[in-house]
Structure 1
Amino acid sequence: MPNLPTGAHSSILPRKQKLAKLLHPFFLGLGSQQDNMSLCLFLLWLVTIPLLAYSQTNPRGYLLNCGAGSSSGNDVTVGSLKYITDEGFISVGSTSTIKQDGLVAILTTLRYFPNKSARKYCYTIPVIRGGKYLVRTTYYYGGFDGGKEPPVFDQIVEGTKWSVVNTTEDHAKGMSSYYEIVVQAKGKALSVCLARNNMTASGSSPFISALELEYVDDSVYNATDFNKYALTTVARTSFGDDGDIIGFPDDKFNRLWQPYKDQNPVVISKHNVTPSDFWNIPPAKIFQNSFTASRGKPLQIKWPAGSLPSASYYIALYFQDNRNPSPLSWRVFNVSVNDKNFYANVNVSTRGLTVYAPQWPLSGQTQIVLTPGQGIPVGPVICAGEIMQILPLGGVTLNRDVGAMNELRRYFDNPPPDWSGDPCLPGENSWTGVTCTPGKQYRVTALNLTGIGLSGSLAPNIANLTALRHIWLGGNKLSGNIPEMGSLKDLQSLHLENNQLEGLIPQSLRKLPKLREIFLQNNKVKGDVPTRHRIKRRTFS
């Protein structure tokens, strides 16, 4: 099992920046923890949050103000950017308002989830199938539940446990927190879920303040196989900059670039660049300032400032010669990361350059060293950098099963509150009453919702769950007809007793070779059932 990043309870001290009445106080803290796994520490960066808004019908991106009401008057604006309500993207949870002077509008409401029996609470957001998305979740506790410390819980994206949300240290400093991941959508909807874990205190509830999705071009981070991995942001930094966070509209994908200064000299660029000329299309603004070193001297940067867990990382570094364009405006140097050669003879001109490693092992403190080439008349220079942990995806549920389960949910009037997102994954957060079997693709193999008060009817699409072995839906208030199930060749038991079903018993049940139990009593159904030897039958009261 891979090491996953932890949240804000890290002992690493965040880099601080002066705030004004919490107008834009955000920490970047990426990470997670799983049972029987040691905690891994990640860097937390203080950031502001410029955001890009889209209409609710546009699957390229969304800004959701969680917990806001459904009226248009509850749409809120941060700068010139508008958030819309999260209603319509989630069907569970309660809402609360934070009454605190000076809060940015999106931090004044939140959605929380008090139902302890639910295995997860999911947003489902329309997307482009196979599209790559930057997902950002934002949390501001504000003591909404009358407690003194915020709850600790998991967050899940597309069926993969992404991180543990622990905003305790940020809350103590009056800050909010956000977490970020780049992930590929499996289908036409992308799920982002919260879930309780063994650190969630009794009486506390997972919550969320804002949720953002931003479509990312195929060319960005395209060295990563997003069918197998996601990228969790560790640091995205503009070196030599001590101004505001660089984000939208400078960055078309709404990535946030943290300013960072240390003891290294800073130079200012005298030549503009074209973002589309670079890998990952960085904003032109990150090239305005750079770290440098004297002629013949190496440039050393300890970055990120904290200790990283042993894992594989995506690293991208951005360079530009800051001088006026001329035949002599270029620099040559070698790049090493933790004393290992990262890139030799980097030749940087005023047009700029990106170098990257799609998988690079890191552990502990990280140091980047730029060593000038022999006889080069100027020192090395670096403008910006990104480090993202490579997160293996937790598995895939067969799309046909996902579609059938979603259709089954729609036919129920009152499905369990956790029936959203991936029905099988993560395993400990599968839908209530759903059993799945792992494999190249996970399959739904059993349904057991006996006696939970279900009403509605059975979707015909239940026949698409071709790996089903057991259907136990007895003791509910289901009505309508029993659908055809002739495709369920592995079905061994069918329990629909004590409902309000009617109509004819499907003849297809006679052809199920493995069926051993069929209980239909206390319904209004008519017809014959299989009479083969060893089949247990209870059909009429």
Structure 2
Amino acid sequence: MSYPDDPFNRYWEPFKDENPVVECHANVSSKDFWNLPPAKAMQKALTTSRGKELVIKWPAAALPSAIYYVALYFQDNRTPSPFSWRMFDVSANGRAFYKGLNVSTAGVMVFGTQWPLSGQTKITLTPHGNSPVGPVINAGEILQVVPLGGRTLTRDVIAMEELARRFNNPPPDWRGDPCLPSSHSWTGVYCMGSEIVRVVKLNLTDHGISGTLPDIIANLTALTHIWLSGNKLSGSIPDMTNLNNLVSLRLSKNEFTGTIPPSLGNLEGLKELHLQENKLTGKAPESLRGRSGLDLQLSPENQFD
């Protein structure tokens, strides 16, 4: 679950272990929380019986040693009464996270912004002795805190976000900043720069992507390589006049239609152009004929007379 359920395009996935699952029927609004979690994340909860600790090994995968932001979400699914309150302490790997948490039907969230975690993480909810019911938890959010250093050029970010919208089945990590932090750049996206970071290469060869290649790709003016062969991209090949740094363009084995853009013949630094096995019509631009040092691969119907 992500956008549009989550306005910030965070990625939420189901979690299930051996603890009992309960449905939450109270109407919880995202606006009741400062960081706007999706309402769907509050529809179910893990719980246990009265007097028992609720222990959750979450996230399911072991975490690399780092600093994390952790947020936990709770909501009581029962009708409020003097005998229905829940109170418990929350700990993470044995360290107190929040003491004396009293959960209501309106929902409550507790968070920590600088939590050192490593390996398997264990969240423990310990009920107070006089609590008439067991602990409950609906959702959790965890983000690794990484210093960014520089910043990605805004124009590149906007262009990459549009590519993500126009592609069907893009890689699941195509959200957020495409370049930063550098250890978590988008799959197939390669960037360079220190203070100002630019997208310099796209490699999504054989990724099963369909959709179209939008004109806005021409705004990625630092691109040297575009490798999108072996997908199901359709529509026309956009004008790439602005891509003066482009060295290699691989669009073979797709479903592109229309003619080969004359602008490709104006890219003086182009050394590799693969357009074969598409549905293109007409001949390649004359400006590409006999160009020294150019690896040009075309389908028979697009080759020069």
Under TM normalisation by the shorter chain, which class is it? 0.5 to 0.7
Name the structure 1 match of 2:262: 507
What is the aligned counterpart of 1:180 among 113, 128, 131? 113
Structure 1: distance between partners of 2:271 and 2:253: 19
Tell me if 1:533 matches 2:298. Answer: no
- What does the per-residue CA deviation read over 1:28-55, in whole Å, with 9 as the maximum and x for residues that have no partner? xxxxxxxxxxxxxxxxxxxxxxxxxxxx
179 and 148 in structure 1: CA distance in 2 versus 1, 3 angstrom threshold: closer
Name the structure 1 match of 2:156: 401
Q: Indicate if the aligned counterparts of 2:272 and 2:294 stay in contact, CA closer than 8 A.
A: yes
Q: TM-score normalized by structure 1?
A: 0.36
Alignment of 1:126-141 (within 5 A): none
Tell me if 1:455 matches 2:214. Answer: no
Tell me if 1:76 matches 2:1. Answer: no
200 and 462 in structure 1: CA distance in 2 versus 1, 3 angstrom threshold: farther
Structure 1: distance between partners of 2:159 and 2:63: 29
- What does the per-residue CA deviation read over 1:341-360, in whole Å, with 9 as the maximum and x for residues that have no partner? xxxxxxxxxxxxxxxxxxxx
Q: Indicate if the aligned counterparts of 1:75 and 1:85 stay in contact, CA closer than 8 A.
A: no
- Indicate the RMSD between aligned Cα atoms, in angstroms: 4.5
Q: Indicate if the aligned counterparts of 1:152 and 1:167 stay in contact, CA closer than 8 A.
A: no
Name the structure 2 match of 1:524: 279
Tell me if 1:168 matches 2:107. Answer: no
Q: Deviation of residue 153 (structure 1)?
A: 3.6
- For structure 1, the residue ranges without an aligned partner over 5 or more in a row are 1-55, 89-93, 104-140, 156-160, 182-196, 202-206, 212-231, 233-390
Structure 2: distance between partners of 1:82 and 1:403: 28
67 and 495 in structure 1: CA distance in 2 versus 1, 3 angstrom threshold: closer
What is the aligned counterpart of 2:226 among 471, 474, 483? 471
Instruction: Tell me the SS of whatever aligns to 2:186.
Output: coil
Structure 2: distance between partners of 1:171 and 1:97: 25
Structure 2: distance between partners of 1:77 and 1:510: 55
200 and 512 in structure 1: CA distance in 2 versus 1, 3 angstrom threshold: farther
Q: TM-score normalized by structure 2?
A: 0.61
Q: Which amino acid aligns with 2:296?
A: R
Structure 2: distance between partners of 1:198 and 1:467: 37
Name the structure 1 match of 2:195: 440
487 and 87 in structure 1: CA distance in 2 versus 1, 3 angstrom threshold: farther
- For structure 2, the residue ranges without an aligned partner over 5 or more in a row are 15-24, 71-90, 102-108, 122-137, 301-305
Tell me if 1:86 matches 2:11. Answer: no
- What does the per-residue CA deviation read over 1:361-415, in whole Å, with 9 as the maximum and x for residues that have no partner? xxxxxxxxxxxxxxxxxxxxxxxxxxxxxx9642200000000000011110111
Q: Indicate if the aligned counterparts of 1:152 and 1:164 stay in contact, CA closer than 8 A.
A: no
Structure 1: distance between partners of 2:38 and 2:278: 40
Q: Indicate if the aligned counterparts of 1:67 and 1:85 stay in contact, CA closer than 8 A.
A: no
- What does the per-residue CA deviation read over 1:267-314, in whole Å, with 9 as the maximum and x for residues that have no partner? xxxxxxxxxxxxxxxxxxxxxxxxxxxxxxxxxxxxxxxxxxxxxxxx
Q: Deviation of residue 525 (structure 1)?
A: 1.0
Q: Indicate if the aligned counterparts of 2:68 and 2:113 stay in contact, CA closer than 8 A.
A: no
Q: Indicate if the aligned counterparts of 1:67 and 1:95 stay in contact, CA closer than 8 A.
A: no
Q: Indicate if the aligned counterparts of 1:478 and 1:500 stay in contact, CA closer than 8 A.
A: yes
- What does the per-residue CA deviation read over 1:94-120, in whole Å, with 9 as the maximum and x for residues that have no partner? 9994321599xxxxxxxxxxxxxxxxx
Structure 1: distance between partners of 2:298 and 2:233: 16
Give the % identical residues.
37
98 and 171 in structure 1: CA distance in 2 versus 1, 3 angstrom threshold: farther
Tell me if 1:209 matches 2:161. Answer: no
- What does the per-residue CA deviation read over 1:249-279, in whole Å, with 9 as the maximum and x for residues that have no partner? xxxxxxxxxxxxxxxxxxxxxxxxxxxxxxx
Tell me if 1:410 matches 2:165. Answer: yes
Structure 2: distance between partners of 1:95 and 1:535: 57
Structure 2: distance between partners of 1:441 and 1:447: 18
Q: Deviation of residue 76 (structure 1)?
A: 1.8
Instruction: Tell me the SS of whatever aligns to 1:209.
Output: strand
Q: Indicate if the aligned counterparts of 1:402 and 1:422 stay in contact, CA closer than 8 A.
A: yes
Larger helix proportion of the pair? 2
Alignment of 1:360-371 (within 5 A): none
- What does the per-residue CA deviation read over 1:128-181, in whole Å, with 9 as the maximum and x for residues that have no partner? xxxxxxxxxxxxx952xxx588655479xxxxx963769322489998962238
